[in-house]
Amino acid sequence: MLFLAEATEFAYFCVVMRFLGRIAYWVAAVVLIVSILASLDYSLGQAFFIALIFCPCALLLAYLMPKARRAMDKVYISLAVMVSVILLILLLHYFVWIMNYPESFHDSPKEIPPMLINPAFLGIILTILSIGDYFCSKWLSRHFKPKDRTITFFSERKSVTVLIADILYIESNDTEVRIVIASGESYRNKTGIGQWENLLGEGFLRIHRSYLVNLDSVALTSPETVSVGETQLPVSRKYKENVQQVLHKF
C-alpha cells in the first residue's frame, strides 16, 4: 500500500498561484497587443477582440511544436497556425467594422493594416507569446511547487516515510520495485511501478518499463540514456520520443 500526504493548504496555494500566474501573463500579453493595435487606428474594443485571436493560436503553436517529429512537420504546423491567424484576423476585422459602422462599410471599408497580415510580424508575435508562456510556466512551477509532500510505504515489513522530492528513481524488478533515495538509501516494495507512476504524478517521468525517474534529478545524456546522479539508466524505444520532448534535447 502507498499513502500520499502533503500540506493541503500549501499545495492548494501553489495550484492557485500557478493558475493566476498564467492568467496574469496572458492578460499582460493581450494588453501589449491591444496597445500595438490601438496605434494602428483601432478603437480599444476592436483592438481587444483582434488581440484575443493571438492567445489560442500561440497556445496551439506551443502545444503542437514539441510533438513534431520532423523539421518539415514544424514547418507545416507553423504555416497552418499562421494561415489560421490571418483568416481569423480578416474575419474579425470585417466583423467588428460592420458592427460599428454598418452604413459606411460598403462605401468605404476600413483597410487592414499590412502589418496585421504580414507573416513575419505575426510569426514574431506568436513566437514571443509561445516562448514567454513556456518560461512563465517553468518559473511558476519551480517557485510554487510543494516540497513537503511525503509518501509512506512498506519495505521489508516496516513502514517507511520519505519526501517525494528525495526520490531519485524507481526500478522495477519483476515482483517488486526498488526506491532509490538522494541520500543513497534504497528500499524495496511490492507495489507495481505503474501504480507508483500514477501516484507520484507529473514530477516523475517513465523512461523504460523498469524505470521511473524524478524530473528534478534527471539529465538526458544521449538518445538512449539518462543520468540520475552518477547512475546511468536506459531509455527504451517505447518512451524515447516522449523523454526527448520532455527534456528538450536531441
- pLDDT over 70 for what percent of the chain? 86
> What whole-number distance in Å separates Cα of residue 54 and Cα of residue 70?
25
Return the closest-CA partner of residue 217 out of 160, 163, 139, 140. Answer: 163
100 phi, psi to nearest 5 deg: -90, -30
Which of left, alpha, beta for 156 (phi over 0: left; psi -120 to 50: alpha)?
Answer: left
Q: Where are the domains of the chain?
A: 7-143, 150-247
pLDDT in tens, 57-87: 888 888 888 777 778 888 888 888 888 888 8
C-alpha span between 140 and 106 (Å, rounded)? 49
pLDDT tens digit sequence for 124-155: 888 888 889 888 888 887 777 766 678 888 89
Asked whether the whole model's pTM tops 0.85, one would answer: no
According to CATH, the topology of domain 150-247 is OB fold (Dihydrolipoamide Acetyltransferase, E2P) (2.40.50)
Residue 95 confidence (pLDDT) above 90: no
The continuous run of DSSP H or E covering 205 comes out as strand 204-208
